[in-house]
Amino acid sequence: MGGITRYALQRLLLTIPMLLILLTLVFLILRVMPGDPVAAMLGGRNISPELMDEYRHKMGVDRPIPVQYVEYLNGILHGNFGKSFRTNKAVVHELFTRFPATLELAFFGLFFAGIFGFGTGILAATRADRPIDHVVRVLHIGSFAMPLFWLGLMLQVIFAVKLGWFPVATRLGGRLAFTFQSVTGFYLIDSILGGNGAVIVDVAKHLILPSITLGFAQAGLLGRMSRASMLEVLDQDYITTARAKGLRERVVILSHALRNALIPIVTVFGLQFAILMGGAVLTETVFSWPGVASFLVRSIEARDWPAIQGSVVFIAIFISAINLLVDITYSFIDPRVRY
């Protein structure tokens, strides 16, 4: 068995107790939190105690907590996250229906963060202690100090309401939302495969503002990391040797410094998915984006226990998979890393 395969299996085995601890904590916290899921589902109407008891029995929340816990673990082992109290649909179905929207937003948010953060970081490093360096560093600090919800609202006010360049919310607007048929759940991919130019433009315009909002904070962090990593690499002897040979500065940066500067950034870049999932809660709420994070928020408001538990476990599995993929990618970028 290869080193990477063995390492991947070890990571997968370590993920199991982590998920078990997380699931247990969420399960117990929901049971001790104030609020009745039955009352939340029925909308607080005047309902007889007998009917309330009937609904509690139907939803299974009247059973002893240990029994509920064992039943839920058994369902998880069989891929069953239960049924949503709010929609009466399987939680797995609800999550997989909304996951493409969240993944599409996270991808473009991270894409923006990578392009903007890495680009400005390299620019600042190659012009250290010049005015542009100081401007970029202030921009980086301001980016991850800025509240996501405030940034999203400001972008909506300026570019959607005042200038009218982009739509305010959702994934697709106007009559296109009623006529467009998505196959994969990824609107941009489906619109490109369908060859519909109007839909491609509309989907892209809907993606721009929430992607910038989601990726802006991560762009600042990646920018600072890129600058520091590039400065460290540029100070190495082999870079001095390359310059002494008369190589152009562009060749020195792109061929000799860039790859080595990428090594520590890749790990941070992959781990940003964890932060992006947290930021997606605010971003999807501000832009009415129909993803997993907004589903989790609505489930919390409705005291929808199965949906909350399923969403948290689903997000944890996704983040664990991304982290494992980053570690494996790290070994290809840096030949010194062996598993």
Q: How far apart are CA 148 and CA 213, in angstroms?
A: 6
Q: How far apart are CA 228 and CA 333, in angstroms?
A: 19
Encode pLDDT of 97-119 as tens digits.
888 998 888 889 888 888 888 88
Helix (H, G, I), strand (E, B) or coil at 90: strand
Q: How far apart are CA 129 and CA 196, in angstroms?
A: 48
pLDDT for 67 equals: 86
Encode pLDDT of 3-46 as tens digits.
667 767 777 787 788 888 888 888 888 887 777 777 766 665 66
Structure tokens at 253: 């940066």
pLDDT for 267 equals: 67
pLDDT above 90 covers a percentage of the chain that reads 4
pLDDT for 198 equals: 84
Encode pLDDT of 43-65 as tens digits.
656 667 777 777 777 777 778 88
**Helices within the chain (DSSP H only):** 3-32, 37-42, 49-59, 65-77, 91-126, 131-145, 148-155, 176-179, 187-194, 197-234, 237-244, 249-251, 258-286, 292-301, 305-333
pLDDT for 210 equals: 92
Q: What is the pTM of this model?
A: 0.80
Cβ 318 vs Cβ 95: under 8 Å: no
For residue 83, the 8-state DSSP code is B
Class of CATH domain 98-333: mainly alpha
Which neighbouring-strand residues pair with 83? 90
Indicate the domain borders of the chain. 98-333
Mean pLDDT of 212-231: 84
Lowest mean pLDDT among 156-170, 174-188, 242-256: 242-256
**Pick from 200, 180, 109: which is nearest to 151 by CA?**
109
124, pLDDT greater than 80: yes
